[in-house]
Each structure stands twice: as structure tokens, then as C-alpha cells.
Amino acid sequence: MSINAQSVSAGQALTVLQEGWKMQSISGIKMSYMMHGRPGIGKTQLAEALARHIGGKLHDLRLTTIEPSDLRGMPHYDHENKLTVWYRPEDLPNSDEPAVLFFDELTAASPFLQPTVYGILQERRVGQHKIPDNTIIIAAGNTVDDGAVAYEMGTAIADRLVHMLVEADAKDWIKNFAVPNDLHPAVTAFVETRPDFFETTQEAMKDGNIIAATPRSWERVSQIMQNVTDRTVRDIMIAGTVGKHIAAEFAIIADDIAATVKVTEMVKVKREERIKMFPNSMHGLNAMVFGLLGMADEKNADAVIEIMVDLGRLKDLRPETPEFKAIPLKELSTHGFESLLGKLMDKGLHQIILDNPAFQDYTAEREELGLQ
């Protein structure tokens, strides 16, 4: 059967889960949520993000690795009352603190385990063990068409859940995951300019390839770029993460970025000296923006603001560079500025922004154009 739920980005799915927690906390209405999606789409990261949002503990249960007794607990004998009593499993929430109970790989769970899971999803209990009121329950799994181990979900369990079909969205991933988590700027810039290589599971399956690019694999590429200095080793590891064809495309852009993007040097020199340091390619400028976002702090905020403003004016500042005529500099500047302001305000640097002359000029220019 098809998943006839609405398709959402990871960012939208997180918003739904956050609203679900809010409804549960304020109104006491408890619902369980199911995220369907391809492997590597970021379902586990969403559960982790929800736990951080509510300030609670994540109880992550991989249903393919446990037995019914792992949820019900182990029996012991109450000889005085002639009863069999069950010890509560340590994996289940058991306190007044906020918590997320996450059932991962629900669609791959053993049929013998599913009745136990049904009871938790519907009644919020297993045997005599009740799930605390301050716990939100979410589940995740692949579909039968994803090339992963998965079974058709029966109506008995499907009816107990609020379903979402989580799909890869490059812009959403960049905004809500890559930038906040300071992924390597070459990765973020590559995904920005080549969104067709962001998630390639279906293409890999069609071509008979085992390796595909996914949001999870691009996170690993970022870790490789940040920690492996040997070029040959790095290339082998990246090819083994996203496939050799995509890795070759990525290497071309990564090399260009490494040669032209010098954000650490840019923030150290005077404003007029930076003009010649701007890259003259789309992916180079994207990498510059993401690199600046990752390093922006109280010490360099003024310089980073100036660079973002000057980015939108490069056609006038460097008229001898024809490449800039084909690049949407204003859009890049606006996008970078919005992300930068959000990060600086999150750090409590509001006054630095307001006092910055470049920001004041930027604001005045937008007001003249009726964009404020």
C-alpha cells in the first residue's frame, strides 16, 4: 500500500513534531507520530532535534535489534502474593522529565514484536508499565520501495499514528541542518549548486549501485573534509560515501573552493583590500558565504557583515570581472545576510549589528527600494 500522507521536508516534519509536543504539554492530547522516508533522510536527527527542543532525553529503540521481552521487561516472582511481576525495562522513560520515545525501523520490526509496540502507541503502556505523560512518542521507518528491509504496515498499527512522508529537500537541509551544524562549506556549497546530487537513492537502485548520496552521507563527507588531510585517502573515503561519480564532481568544486575561498584571511584585512579576494565563481561565492556563517562570532561580526554587503555590490566594485555579470549577487547577498543576522542574534549580538555602518547602509538601500 502507498503512503498517502503529505510529503514534507525535514524542517516541516520537525515543526509538526514540535507542535505535537506543544499540544500534548498544554492540552494533554497525546498522539504518536510516524515518519516514513528513505534511508539516510535524517529521521533519527529529527528525533534528536526534538529532544533538544523540549530539553529532554531521547530514548532511541531500534526495533530490529530487540525482542518483546526487552519492552515488557524481565519477570520475577512475588512469593508472598503468588504473582509474577515484571521489572521495568531501562529503555522506557520513567520520570517526570520531558522525553522522546523513538521507535526506529518500525516497518522492519519482527511481526512478533509488533503487538507489543501497538499497545505502547495506542495505550501508552506495555503490561503494567505506563509511559509518563511528559513523553512524546514518535516512530520512523523505510517503505518497501526504498531498497531497505521493510514490511507493509498493517492498518491496525497505521491507524494509531499521525503519518508524514519525509523527503529530501536541499534548501531545507542547508538552512535547518548544514548551516546550524557548521558543516564543511565545500559540502554546503556543492549541495547548493548541485541539488540533483543531494539524494540519489532511487537513481542508484535503478542503476544497480549500492552507494547513494543521502543527507546522512553528506554529513559524513563533511566530517571527512574537516578531519582527513591526505588527499588520496580523502578521495577514497568520499567515493565510498557518495559514489565515485558524485565524488569526482565534488572534488572539482572542492579543489576550486580550496584555491579561491580564504574566509579566515578575508576577515583580517581592511574592507577595501577584501574586494580582490572574492571568488569569481558561483560555487566559490556560495562556499565563502557558508564559511563565513560557520565562523561568525563577536570578534569578526563587523568584518563578516561588511563582506556580505559587498557581495551584493561586486559588479560595481570589480567591473573588470565578467563572471559576476552572470551570477545573482544580490540574491546571494540577501540569502547570506538573512542567515548571518539570524545567527548573530541567536548569539545576542544585536547591538553589534545595529551599530555596524555597513549594515546601516544596507538597510537604508533596501528601504529606498521598498524592500524593508
Q: Are 151 and 43 found together in one domain?
A: yes
What percent of the chain has a predicted confidence (pLDDT) above 90?
Answer: 58
DSSP SS3 for 41: coil
| pLDDT averaged over every residue in the chain | 89
Average pLDDT over residues 130-151: 79
Identify the CATH number of the domain in which residue 40 sits: 3.40.50.300
Answer yes or no: is 122 within a domain.
yes
Whether 72 shows a pLDDT value over 80: the answer reads no
Residue 201 grid cell: 537513492
Predicted confidence (pLDDT) per residue in 215-264, tens digit? 999 999 999 999 999 999 999 999 999 999 999 999 999 998 888 888 99
Q: Are 333 and 280 found together in one domain?
A: yes
Give backbone dihedrals phi and psi of 92, rounded to 5 degrees, phi first. -90, 140
Instruction: For residues 212 and 355, give the distance between their C-alpha atoms in angstroms, rounded to a whole number.
Output: 47
Residue 137 grid cell: 512518542
Number of structural domains (the chain) is 3
- 102, 139 contact by CB (below 8 A): yes
How far CA 210 is from CA of 25, 108, 168, 200, 214, in Å, comes to 43, 20, 19, 11, 12
Q: Are 226 and 86 found together in one domain?
A: no
Q: Are 214 and 356 found together in one domain?
A: no
Q: Are 220 and 296 found together in one domain?
A: no
Query: Of 101, 135, 167, which marks where a domain is finished?
Result: 167
Q: Are 120 and 222 found together in one domain?
A: no
Query: Of 200, 235, 259, which marks where a domain is finished?
Result: 259
Q: Are 95 and 229 found together in one domain?
A: no
Query: Of 236, 259, 282, which marks where a domain is finished?
Result: 259
Instruction: For residues 41 and 37, give the distance between their C-alpha atoms in angstroms, rounded to a whole number.
Output: 6
Domain assignment of residue 180, given as a range: 170-259
Predicted confidence (pLDDT) per residue in 89-99, tens digit? 778 898 889 99
Residue 317 grid cell: 566594485
Answer yes or no: is 294 within a domain.
yes
Write down the pLDDT at residue 89. 77
Sheet order of strands, 135-141 included: 7-8, 162-166, 32-36, 135-141, 99-104, 57-62
Residue 78 grid cell: 512475588
Answer yes or no: is 65 within a domain.
yes
**Look-up of cell digits 572542492:** 254
272-280 contact pairs (CB < 8 A, 24+): 274/306, 274/307, 274/310, 275/310, 275/314, 275/317, 275/318, 276/318, 278/310, 278/311, 278/314, 278/318, 280/321, 280/323, 280/324
Q: Are 271 and 253 found together in one domain?
A: no
pTM metric for this prediction: 0.79
Whether 148 shows a pLDDT value over 60: the answer reads no
Instruction: For residues 37 and 7, give the distance between their C-alpha atoms in angstroms, rounded to a whole number.
Output: 10
What percent of the chain has a predicted confidence (pLDDT) above 70?
Answer: 94
Answer yes or no: is 1 within a domain.
no
Pairing mode, strands 32-36 and 162-166: parallel
Q: Are 142 and 189 found together in one domain?
A: no
Answer yes or no: is 315 within a domain.
yes
Question: End-to-end distance of the chain based on CA atoms, in angstroms?
Answer: 48
Q: Are 99 and 146 found together in one domain?
A: yes
pLDDT bin (cut points 50, 70, 90) of residue 369 is low
Host H or E run for residue 285: helix 282-295
Answer yes or no: is 43 within a domain.
yes
Q: Are 89 and 137 found together in one domain?
A: yes
**Look-up of cell digits 522525553:** 99
Instruction: For residues 170 and 178, give the distance between their C-alpha atoms in angstroms, rounded to a whole number.
Output: 10
Q: Are 253 and 279 found together in one domain?
A: no
Answer yes or no: is 2 within a domain.
no
